[in-house]
Structure 1
Amino acid sequence: MKYTFKTQVRVRYVEVDQSGFVYNGNYATYYEVARSEALRDMGYTYKKMEDDGIIMPLVNQYSRFHKPAYYDDLLTIITTVPKLPEARIRFEYEIFNQKNEKINSGYNELIFLNAEKRRPQRAPQWFIDLFIKYAEENA
């Protein structure tokens, strides 16, 4: 069971380096935008998560660059959560340019952390239920 979501971002001038390509560090920001919007699509926001006493720090990230992106490109980011979250959740990303060419792929993993105790915890059952609902609706 997996959940997939699509969002778009336009490359801003500040995101390109002297070569004219999107600077590699900006892909982490694109992943963050896509992840936040995917959670919002499921009806859950980082703000609500913090209000519920959960934080989700990043523990692992990988990015592969296939082709460069340029200023003013409209990028489509497909975000997939490939399996039910447990104590960690994995988000996978594919980024395409307006010619539908894959320019980047990668993933990151975050853990569910009790904000007060600063200790790992399993994903809350209501979050798993929400994930299942949206995965089934988007199957």
Structure 2
Amino acid sequence: MYTHEVELRVRYAETDKMGFAYYGNYPRYYEIARVEGFRALGFPYKEMEDAGVGMPVLSMSINYHAPAKYDDLLKVKLIIPDMPRARMKFLYEIRNEEDKLINTGETILAFMNMETGRPVKMPERMEKSISPFFNS
């Protein structure tokens, strides 16, 4: 299992009239965690795209447990529970500064040749970076 955590602050522009983080921002928070998780592995997402491989989202589920508020410092934990193949499952846990769980989610993404739109295997360099987290 691979995990990575990133902190981000809820900006004023991300809030609704009640001062809560607008519900539509959570997929963006998930994306930030994914991109930074790849970077921490030594395989930046940009490098993958430059090599012609993209990762479209196939499915997403979001569970709201409590609101995040303007200026809250959030910890977004990314979890990759299984060794990826042609698809990659991501789990997310978002906690506020009091360590209260405020959001959980899941996305499934696929590796895709950006030129043809066809599925491809995980890039070999990424496989080398992530496989040590799954070998027991």
TM-score (norm 2): 0.94
Match for residue 5 of structure 1? 4
- What's the offset of the Cα at 1:108? 0.7
- Alpha-carbon distance in 1 for matches of 2:39, 2:33: 10
Give the deviation of 1:125 after TM superposition: 3.0
Shift of 1:67: 0.4
Q: Which residue number corresponds to residue 89 of structure 1?
A: 88
In structure 1, list runs of 5 or more residues that go unmatched: none
Whole-angstrom CA distance in 1 between matches of 2:105 and 2:22: 16
Aligned residue pair count: 135
Deviations 1:61-89 (A, max 9, x none): 11000000100000001100001111110
Q: Is contact 2:68–2:102 with CA below 8 Å preserved after alignment? A: yes
The answer to whether the 8 Å contact 2:112/2:118 transfers is yes
Q: 1:45, CA displacement in angstroms?
A: 1.4
1:120 counterpart SS class: coil
Q: Which runs of 5+ in 2 are unaligned?
A: none
- Distance in 1, matches of 2:46 and 2:37, equals 14
Per the TM alignment, residue 124 of structure 1 is displaced from its structure 2 partner at its CA by 2.5
In 2, distance between residues paired with 1:130 and 1:45?
11
How many angstroms does 1:44 deviate by? 1.2
Deviation larger for 40-49 or 64-73: 40-49
1:69 aligns with 2:84: no
Structure 2 match to 1:121: 120
Query: Counterpart of 1:127 in structure 2: which amino acid?
Result: M
Matched AA of 1:40:
R
Shift, 1:132, TM fit: 1.5
CA distance, structure 1, for counterparts of residue 15 and residue 97 of structure 2: 17
For residues 19-61 of structure 1, the C-alpha deviation after alignment (integer angstroms, 9 at most, x for no partner) is: 2211000001100111110000001112101111101111111
Q: Distance in 2 between matches of 1:29 and 1:112?
A: 19
- Name the aligned partner's letter for residue 48 of structure 2: M
